[in-house]
Amino acid sequence: MPNNQTHNAPLQDNEKMQKFFSCQPYFVQESIMQTGVGASSETELHQCAENLTKKNYNQE
């Protein structure tokens, strides 16, 4: 099983990505951390958060 800290290194190293991540709803943050999604750029992080948010709203 991959180490989430290593897998999420770009998030830890990029202040803009950290700021965006911290502004996301809790369920988005948890989903990203638990699944180990490796967003290596701001664009990937935005897409991941957007997809998670869309899925949540479609379930309601």
Cα separation, 22 vs 32, in Å, equals 12
How many angstroms separate the CA atoms of 2 and 56, rounded? 26
Spatial contact of 55 and 48, defined as CB atoms under 8 Å apart: no
pLDDT score of 3: 45
Q: Work out the burial of residue 14: count CB atoms within 10 Å of its CB; fewer than 13 is exposed, 13-18 middle, 19 or more buried.
A: middle
Could you tell me the pTM of the whole model? 0.69
**Mean pLDDT over residues 10-38, rounded?**
88
User: How large is the average pLDDT for residues 13-39?
Assistant: 89
